[in-house]
Structure 1
Amino acid sequence: MITSLPAHALRAELLGSLRGTVLELGPGAGVNLPYYAPDVTWIGVEPAARHRARLRGTPAPFGVADVRDGRAERLDLPSGCVDAVVATYVLCSVDDPDAAISEIHRVLRPGGRYVVAEHVAAPDGTGLRRAQDIWGRVTGSFGARCRPNRRPEPAMHRAGFELTDVHRFVVRGPLGAGIPHIAGAAVRPAPTGRGTTP
């Protein structure tokens, strides 16, 4: 089960099997690039200019990277144009997670996979959840934009994803706190074929 794997093995398991056109949101410094297969067509949407410049000069197994400016909440891509979307530790920083997840669903082809890894909200009423709420307010005021108290799974369900391969696990954080995470792949379901003739 992926929850017991170290970080590099988790990335390899989630990313190594992807094929076709892969859109990565917020690739940052490019930590995921070495894990993709050499035959993928990779598109990165990165809002930070410094990261875009670095990504364009980073060797990748699939050759020249297509790096674009943009934000997850409004993707300048046609509907149903990619085979997979990768967003790892991105949803904590977007302004509107529902809009971002809806956009991910829109650009995926039916049957396409949304590979996700995120730290998520601890249960309500716990000390950890109170600390997450405080941390989100503090980092937001300084522009760091990390909101660790978000719950992406309900938004994924609302967008129409099937979460059959998304798992919960805990990573040891500051002062030994167990930080809840999710990781795996959600699927945009293919049409059922209703209304068509056999």
Structure 2
Amino acid sequence: MTTPPPLGDRLKGMLEPAQIMKWAMSHYIRVCAEAVFKKGEIFAPILQIDRLRDEAFGRFWVEFSTPAPNATPAPAEPEPVLETDPETETETFQPGQNTNGSSDLIPPLLRTANGIVLDIGPGTGTQMPLLRSPSISTIYGPEPCTGLHEKLRARAIAEGISSKYHILASGAAASQLLPALRDSGTGVTEAYDSDPRSGIFDTIICVRVLCSVPEMERTVDELYGLLKPGGKLLVTEHVVNAWRTAKGSFLARVVQGVYQVFGWSFFIGDCALDRDTEGVLLRAARSDGGWEVVDLERSFAWSVMPYLSGTLVKKSSI
């Protein structure tokens, strides 16, 4: 549980997503300008929007996930924060820092990963140091933004897990993921192809990724089907503000909607601030009578980016 900060800090925190969006927007504008003026692709900003968005988001995320100079490297994807310059007493935007402590939720969760692991949307691989456990036999990292693959591959080598980390040019949807797994040549889908009830993964990791997957409900249902009986889903996701609850915030919920209207999803890799991820996760197991274990907790409930974190375990006998 977390204690709400003073009102002034809460209000200031509501402006932080605007700084992130401005940062990502600058990369998109730059990529469009390069396409038109350097490459002569005059109509690319109209006819090739998806390609330009992917390139711009890749550049943004590489920069976003790089710790600020002299900063202590974070164990998971960092978040920007507004800091005060002690000399000028002005606020400056610093990448590579942690906005509200949400990164602290990740290490204890990922340390429980074991067996065959699916690491959804690993980005540049900043949480790889948490996946070096010998109890993990193989890791598959489906990352649809191919502009991040070079960084991801380099990180796997640096962490000494490149031999067991398989990067997939795929999203999380089964229509993309299963063909990519089969093409990996590891034979990981053989048992599943013979009997889908056997599942594939012992652990599925969803860290700040369900906010951006297309058709989240369908994708989560498919991920549930890929879990082995007794397998676990590890989740740390920012979610819609539960403003109707005592700890939620009506103002924060309104601000979430404002950011969505002004292009948050467009510039931040299809990320959505207003998804009911908890409801979708709980419903994924409804056909089997629910999850065997549900251990979820909400943090930062007053903020524009409240978090849901914890573990869901699939029933061992279905």
Q: TM-score, normalised by structure 1?
A: 0.83
| The one of 70, 94, 111 aligned to 2:170 | 70
Higher mean C-alpha displacement, 120-129 vs 22-31: 120-129
Corresponding residue for 1:169? 299
Conserved in 2, the CA contact under 8 Å of 1:83 and 1:108?
yes
- What is the deviation of 1:136? 2.1
Within-5 A mapping of 1:1-198: 6-7=101-102, 9-39=104-134, 40=136, 41-58=138-155, 59-64=158-163, 65-74=165-174, 75-76=177-178, 77=181, 78=189, 79=192, 80-124=199-243, 126-137=250-261, 138-142=263-267, 144-160=269-285, 162=291, 164-170=294-300, 177=303, 179-191=305-317
Matched letter for residue 272 of structure 2: R
Deviation string 1:40-63 (CA, Å, 9 cap, x unpaired) is 111100001121222122222434
Residue 178 to residue 131, structure 1, CA distance change in 2 (3 Å): closer
Q: Partners in 1 of 2:154 and 2:132 — Cα distance?
A: 19
Aligned residues: 187
Give how far 1:103 is off. Answer: 1.8
Between the aligned residues of both structures, percent identity stands at 27
**Displacement of 1:35:** 0.6
Moved over 6 A (4+): none
Distance of 1:141 and 1:8 partners within structure 2? 24
C-alpha contact 1:36 1:61 (8 A) present in aligned 2:
no
* Greater per-residue strand proportion: 1
Greater relative contact order, per chain length (Cα 8 Å cut-off, separation 6+): 1
* C-alpha spacing 1:111/1:6, structure 2 compared with 1 (3 Å): same
Q: CA deviation at 1:124?
A: 4.7
Q: Please, what is the CA RMSD of the aligned residues?
A: 2.5
Higher helix share: 2
Deviations 1:74-119 (A, max 9, x none): 2215441110000100011111111221121011101111111111
1:195 alignment partner in structure 2: none
Moved more, 20-29 or 4-13: 4-13
- Give the direction of change, closer, same or farther, for the CA distance of 1:61–1:88 in structure 2 (3 Å limit): same
Residues in 2 aligned to 1:164 and 1:61: alpha-carbon distance in whole angstroms = 33
Which stretches in structure 2 are left out of the alignment for 5+ residues? Answer: 4-99, 182-188, 193-198, 245-249
Secondary structure of the equivalent of 1:18?
Answer: coil
Structure 1 unaligned blocks of 5 or more? 193-198
